[in-house]
Structure 1
Amino acid sequence: MRTVTEDRVREEASAERPIPVGQPRRDRRQALGKSLWIGIWLVFLSEPVRDLASGHHTPSGTVAGGVGLAAFVAVYLTLLFRNVGLPEERSLGRRYVGGRIAVLGTLAVVLGLTLGSAWAGLFVYVSVACGAALPLRAASWTIPLTGTAMLLVGVRDGEQEPWQVLLLVVLIGFAMAGVRQLVRTTVELRKARATVAQLAASEERLRLARDLHDLLGHSLSLITLKSELAGRMLPAHPDKAAQQIADIEQVSRQALVDVREAVTGYRRPRLSAELAGAGVALTAAGVTAELPAEPDLDGVPEESESALAWALREAVTNVVRHSGAQCCAVEVVRRQTLDGPMLELSVEDNGSGGSGSGPGNGLTGLGERLTKAGGTLEAGRSRHGFRLVARAPATAPADVGSPA
């Protein structure tokens, strides 16, 4: 038997499946997208490439600069592609990451000192690598260290431009550190949500097992005992055996009634669960949903809550399938009427309300359900589209004492 919690978990998982934030790459398409996202920032290497193509350096210096730039780009892409977006346990080791960042820093310093200030932009990529691949504590001192190295290289070269690039190096590095921390937090939240859902499902199973044990344990034990007594009495005392069998029949019928009542309670929809499901269904259908906060259901009879939950489910189904609406507003309020306090559910959308000229079978059955619970149903077109209003008693009817 599937529980309500498991169904809700499956709906949320299906709604969130297209979002790849905080998840490792799973196919070639995602790997290509990740490569483009990382590689597009290499456009800022245009200044070193232009410096090599200008012919200001000797042939050997140009070749050495090209080899160094190619090595720098290769190490940078390998480090970020294999480390960005992965969970903590799947990321590369600190020694590997530290070694690659040391190589990047060394290449940036050597190329900047030998080829001039046009190569100071390499320190931006070193800062990005520190923020994206190192833990936050390590990034907090390696990023300023990268900026200091870039500043010293630029000052030695006699250029004033590094002072302007310093702020960019530090800000981009810490921005990447923040993005990395956000991804890690997203991964942890996904794991925590999965754990909570699993615990909730386990708790639901335990509750079901406990309730079934309480309902059937005593009845089945009594049926077993009376069956043994009837078997012993059957040869010599058929009348007493018949009485035991009659008792077995009565206990069995009562156990069947208890099980049916329990199953009915499990299958009864809850208004809070239906509100959460309505938000998921409307969002998946591209409808802007305006949902209330957690409703106050203190003292509301279960029959009234169940009827309103069915009304909300039917209304949301009509909005998704038939109305063609772009937005839907749901409201749950308590009202004092001539018939007493009522809990009112209002669902209004800006759609057409369907192609039918009269109420369908769903609304007809819903009206009968609300009438049985002591409530009312109103459905029809409004100024903005279609509106459904369902009301049910907010308090249980007063007990009426029978005459002596």
Structure 2
Amino acid sequence: MSRLRDLFTFGGTENKPSRWRRLMGMSFGLVYLFYPLSDITSGNVTGLRAYAEVAALVGFVTCYIATVMSPKNYGEPGRWTLPLLGLTALMAIVFAILFGGGWLALPIYVTVVISMALPPRQALAGMLAMAAVVVAGGFVTGADGGTISLLVLQVVTLGVLFMSVRNTRILVVELHRAQGEVARLAAGEERLRIARDLHDLLGHSLSLIVLKSELAGRLSEQGSPRAAEEIRDIESVARLALQEVREAVTGYRQRGLSEEIDNARAALDAAGMAAVVRMSGTPLPDALDGLLGWAVREGVTNVVRHARADRCEIIVSYEDGAATLEISDNGPHAGPYEAGSGLCGLAERVEAAGGSVDAGSRPGGGFRLRVLVPVAVESRA
């Protein structure tokens, strides 16, 4: 059933088009066989020669069809394509010289197959060779000059036409492959975006949940009524994290700087750290506001997780042609600094906006994260 559907609907995939479609397209030219066939059916050829011509005609058509059907893809000859093509060309040469007349059209079929199966240079050489066969066969069999000229013209024009068809088909296949690769890369980029967003979102939210859970446990042991309040905060943070995950997956998550600073205050307070926030300059553009919001979330999450500090300072400024964010703490940092996946992801976002990220231990103790984004390129963020 699938073959019948391909036959009548010209179906097939982009990379592996239907062989039935190819056969139908290239079999229209079999009309040229009308001339040798008419010689047999009209009685102009009789006896053993008629049987020989019938056998030759059947053999040539069979070999021609097998050659057309042998390639699996456009521009990629199959295992038997070249041997069958050689046999078809040999038949065309022998029969054209042996029988003459309408058989001089056989090199036209070979030209068509050569033009569809071989690269342009080899196809051009094959086309010229078939034109030479027509000329030689015409002189040997005594054909008139007009017939020879017409057949040579058809060899050349059909050869050029089908070389163009082949090149067009190959370009279409390559275009479909390129579109598939673009779609694959886009899907991979989207997966990376979701993974990066989830890392940043859940890292902060889960850290806050852990801190508040520990605080709620201590308050519960002391019998403090604040334990119930902390448990409610944990529920609220968990619900917010769930909402943010959904927004991140659907691509609608918008992170504002003021919102992230409020979340940072809550996280630092739950960790027992004093939060100091300083902001100066004009209001940030939307693109920079979201970018620095990401930076505050990532920076404060690292402070809560690793700093073991009792004070964290967040400074935001938007002046002198640049937006700057600094997050510093007074924790006991020692040894070489190694950026984790969160800061690496943040650096990618900032660099995409034309900015830079500087992170490391401070000479006087503690750790500092500094993000700088020039105003001139903030529209890229």
TM-score by length of 1: 0.53
User: Which residue is 2:190 aligned to?
Assistant: 204
* Structure 1 residues 18 and 107: alpha-carbon distance in aligned structure 2, compared to 1, 3 A threshold: closer
User: Which residue is 1:222 aligned to?
Assistant: 208
2:70 & 2:126 partners in 1: Cα distance? 20
Query: Which letter does structure 2 place at the counterpart of 1:86?
Result: N
Q: Do 1:38 and 1:81's aligned partners in 2 also have CA atoms closer than 8 Å?
A: no
Given candidates 17, 37, 56, the residue that maps to 1:49 is 37
1:324-343 alignment, distance < 5 Å: none
Count how many residue pairs are aligned between Structure 1 and Structure 2.
Answer: 247
Asked if 1:86 is matched to 2:73, the reply is yes
Given candidates 117, 132, 138, the residue that maps to 1:133 is 117
CA displacement 1:230-283 (0-9 Å, x = unmatched) = 324422353564564365356446546655765785399xxxxxxxxxxxxxxx
* Structure 1 residues 232 and 109: alpha-carbon distance in aligned structure 2, compared to 1, 3 A threshold: same
* Structure 1 residues 198 and 61: alpha-carbon distance in aligned structure 2, compared to 1, 3 A threshold: same
Given candidates 167, 171, 180, the residue that maps to 1:181 is 167
Q: Determine which structure has greater relative contact order: mean sequence separation of CA pairs < 8 Å that are 6+ residues apart, divided by chain length.
A: 1
User: Which residue is 1:38 aligned to?
Assistant: 26
Q: Do 2:97 and 2:104's aligned partners in 1 also have CA atoms closer than 8 Å?
A: no
* Structure 1 residues 243 and 25: alpha-carbon distance in aligned structure 2, compared to 1, 3 A threshold: closer
Larger radius of gyration: 2
CA displacement 1:263-317 (0-9 Å, x = unmatched) = 785399xxxxxxxxxxxxxxxxxxxxxxxxxxxxxx999xxxxxxxxxxxxxxxx
Given candidates 221, 226, 230, the residue that maps to 1:235 is 221
1:103 & 1:263 partners in 2: Cα distance? 60
1:105 & 1:260 partners in 2: Cα distance? 65
* Structure 1 residues 264 and 144: alpha-carbon distance in aligned structure 2, compared to 1, 3 A threshold: closer
1:109 & 1:18 partners in 2: Cα distance? 33
Q: Tell me by how many angstroms 1:144 deviates.
A: 1.0
User: Which residue is 2:252 aligned to?
Assistant: 266
Q: Do 2:68 and 2:113's aligned partners in 1 also have CA atoms closer than 8 Å?
A: yes
Asked if 1:108 is matched to 2:92, the reply is yes
1:219-368 alignment, distance < 5 Å: 219-236=205-222, 238-239=224-225, 241-242=227-228, 244-245=230-231, 247-249=233-235, 251-252=237-238, 255=241, 258=244, 262=248, 266=252
2:73 & 2:121 partners in 1: Cα distance? 18
1:71 & 1:107 partners in 2: Cα distance? 8
CA displacement 1:42-83 (0-9 Å, x = unmatched) = 111111112233444452222112111110010001111333
1:110-125 alignment, distance < 5 Å: 110-125=94-109
Asked if 1:167 is matched to 2:147, the reply is no
**Runs of at least 5 residues in structure 1 that lack an aligned partner in the other structure:** 1-16, 269-298, 302-404
Q: Do 1:219 and 1:252's aligned partners in 2 also have CA atoms closer than 8 Å?
A: yes
CA displacement 1:16-51 (0-9 Å, x = unmatched) = x9975745456xxx83x5544333321111111122
User: Which residue is 1:272 aligned to?
Assistant: none
* Structure 1 residues 121 and 21: alpha-carbon distance in aligned structure 2, compared to 1, 3 A threshold: farther
2:51 & 2:17 partners in 1: Cα distance? 36
CA RMSD of aligned residues (A): 3.3
CA displacement 1:344-384 (0-9 Å, x = unmatched) = xxxxxxxxxxxxxxxxxxxxxxxxxxxxxxxxxxxxxxxxx
User: Which residue is 1:60 aligned to?
Assistant: 48
2:246 & 2:81 partners in 1: Cα distance? 62
* Structure 1 residues 105 and 252: alpha-carbon distance in aligned structure 2, compared to 1, 3 A threshold: closer
* Structure 1 residues 247 and 112: alpha-carbon distance in aligned structure 2, compared to 1, 3 A threshold: closer
1:225 & 1:47 partners in 2: Cα distance? 93
What secondary structure, in the 3-state scheme, does the structure 2 residue paired with 1:86 have? coil
2:10 & 2:89 partners in 1: Cα distance? 37
Query: Which letter does structure 2 place at the counterpart of 1:150?
Result: V
Query: Which letter does structure 2 place at the counterpart of 1:179?
Result: V
Given candidates 70, 86, 104, the residue that maps to 2:58 is 70
1:149-160 alignment, distance < 5 Å: 149-159=133-143, 160=145
Q: Do 1:21 and 1:183's aligned partners in 2 also have CA atoms closer than 8 Å?
A: no
* Percentage identity across paired residues of the two chains: 37
2:28 & 2:111 partners in 1: Cα distance? 17
User: Which residue is 2:82 aligned to?
Assistant: 98
Deviates more, 1:55-64 or 1:182-191: 55-64
2:242 & 2:111 partners in 1: Cα distance? 71
Q: Tell me by how many angstroms 1:127 deviates.
A: 0.6
